Amino acid sequence: MEERHKKSKVVKEKTIGDLIFFGHKELINKASSRIEAEMLLSYVTKQNKLSLYQNWLNKVDRSSEFRYKQLLKKRAKGVPLSYLTNKREFFALSFFVNHHTLIPRHETEILVEETIAQIKKYPIQPVKLIEIGTGSGAISIALAYHCSDILIDALDISEKALEVAKENARNHHLLHRIHFFQSDLFSKVPEQRQYHFVVSNPPYIPNEQIPSLSKEVLSEPKIALDGGKDGLEVIRSLIHQSKQYLVPGGCLVFEIGYQQKQSALKLMKESGFTNLFAKDDLSGIPRIIGGFLLS
Ligand SMILES: C[S@@+](CC[C@H](N)C(=O)[O-])C[C@H]1O[C@@H](n2cnc3c(N)ncnc32)[C@H](O)[C@@H]1O
């Protein structure tokens, strides 16, 4: 009897393969249901994807199965995958994220790419740069990682986001190279401070569009998304305030939202920026705007 009882318990344990198929079905409404199921099972069982495949027929213990199913339920209800695994890849680096930070987007990698290209061409080195609205720290950390002598200040209005940014910088051994501090735009930046670059991925979604965003995006901090009435309120202040902190010939580069290119270029021009440039993302949507302060 004892033996039979034990046997039936063993039979109930699922294999890695069973659980991946199960997860795939549970998330069938998501575009990448299979991949997401694999990522959640990797996270719970602490093994990479290759190991999941190599151990396809291995049994998974019941408590891991239970945790996996809990995560699948949350994911099916619209909690972003990155908030469940506390992880996001950005610019080929791994970042810790939580619900206090925006999940860094792949489109934002173009901002990093373009900033690195501009830094390399800049006549003065080392470059002093400030990032406005650093969130998880992804942009500043990627820049520090690829530009070895750059000096970076990175600020955010959210103390909780800054804790995450510092943890990420520590994980990448870059905490000594980036000075993180809390500030509402430039309000806490000393008046005499001067930078060669100001970089930002500001909140730029018009606030009337916020209620219609997906459940996933709505799980992210509203302060990271809300760009005010026309989506350009933070961008307007960013352009205006940057002028005081950029050296003559310094560069302001930032991300924009859908259909904001013309308005953002106009604002830059009116504020005395020149040699304006714009970059599209991989879907052909204008994403990045930049320019140089008249010398
Ligand atoms: C779109 S998120 C970008 C986060 C991160 N840089 C990234 O690209 O993943 C905008 C960030 O700006 C911050 N923010 C919003 N308003 C701000 C303000 N007035 N001053 C400073 N930071 C602000 C938010 O807390 C948020 O972290």
> What confidence tens digit (pLDDT) does each residue in 18-73 have?
999 999 999 999 989 999 999 999 999 999 999 999 999 999 999 999 999 999 99
* Residue 83 within a domain: no
Q: Give the whole-number percent of the chain exceeding pLDDT 70.
A: 96
For residue 85, report the distance from its CA to the centre of ligand 1, in Å. Answer: 22
Query: Ligand 1, residues 88, 91, 156: which to mutate, most atoms within 8 A of Cβ?
Result: 156
Looking at the structure, tell me whether residues 263 and 147 fall in a common domain. yes
CATH no. for residue 93?
Answer: 3.40.50.150
224 DSSP assignment: G
Give 106 Cα–ligand 1 centroid separation in angstroms.
16
pLDDT by residue (tens digit) across 128-149? 999 999 999 999 999 999 999 9
Residue 1's pLDDT band, with cuts at 50, 70 and 90, is very low
Q: Whose CA is nearest to atom 10 of ligand 1?
A: 224
pLDDT, mean of residues 243-251: 98
Q: Which of 47, 77, 107 is the last residue of a domain?
A: 77
Residues 68 and 142 in one domain: no
* Ligand 1 probe mutation, 88, 201, 204, most atoms within 8 A of CB: 201
Report how far residue 103's alpha carbon sits from residue 89's, in angstroms, rounded to the nearest whole number: 10
| Residues 285, 141 share a domain | yes
Comparing 4-8, 24-28, 169-173, 179-183, which segment has the lowest mean pLDDT?
4-8
Helix or strand run (H / E) with residue 11: helix 2-12
Answer yes or no: do 103 and 49 share one domain.
no
109 and 72 together in one domain:
no
Residue 155 maps to a domain: yes
Dist CA 198 CA 289 (whole Å): 12
State which amino acid sits at residue 235: I
How far, in Å, is the centroid of ligand 1 from the Cα of 274? 25
Flag whether 108 is in a domain. yes
- 273 close to 240: Cβ distance less than 8 angstroms: no
Q: How far is the CA of 225 from the centre of ligand 1 (A)?
A: 8
Residue 131 and residue 266 in one domain: yes
Q: Is the pLDDT of residue 8 over 60?
A: no
Helix intervals (H) in the chain: 2-12, 16-26, 33-45, 49-54, 62-76, 81-85, 109-121, 138-146, 159-171, 215-218, 233-245, 261-270
User: Ligand 1 centroid to 245 CA: how many Å?
Assistant: 18
**Ligand 1 pocket test, candidate residues 87, 103, 134, most atoms within 8 A of CB:** 134
Residue 71 sits in the same domain as residue 93: no
Domain count, the chain: 2
Residue 275 domain boundaries: 88-293
CATH number where 10 lies: 1.10.8
Considering the domain architecture, whether residues 94 and 234 belong to the same structural domain is answered as: yes
Closest ligand 1 atom number to CA of residue 101: 27
Cα–Cα dist 4/94, whole Å: 47
Ligand 1 is surrounded, with C-beta below 6 A, by 102, 104, 108, 132-136, 138-139, 155-158, 161, 184-185, 201-203, 223-224, 234
Residues 13 and 100 in one domain: no
Residue 224: inside a domain: yes
Q: What percent of the chain has pLDDT over 90?
A: 94
For tokens 């396809």, what's the residue?
A: 56
Sequence letter at residue 182: Q
Q: Which residue minimizes the CA distance to atom 19 of ligand 1?
A: 184
Angle of helix 33-45 relative to helix 62-76, nearest 10 degrees, comes to 140
Whether residue 7 has pLDDT greater than 90: no
Centre of ligand 1 to C-alpha 248, Å, is: 25
Q: For the chain, where are the E strands, in sequence order?
A: 88-90, 93-95, 128-132, 151-156, 178-182, 195-200, 246-255, 273-280, 286-293
Q: Give the mean model confidence (pLDDT) for residues 105-119.
A: 97
Give the per-residue pLDDT at 51: 97
Give yes or no: residues 126 and 226 share one domain: yes
In a shared domain, residues 53 and 192: no
Question: How much is the pLDDT for 12?
Answer: 78
- Mean pLDDT, all residues of the chain: 95
Neighbours of 27 (CB within 10 A): 20
Residue 82 lies in a domain: no
Q: Identify which of 198, 140, 136, 212 has the alpha carbon closest to the alpha carbon of residue 167.
A: 136
Q: What is the pLDDT of residues 186-220, one digit of tens each?
A: 999 999 999 999 999 999 999 999 999 999 999 99
95 and 55 share a domain?
no
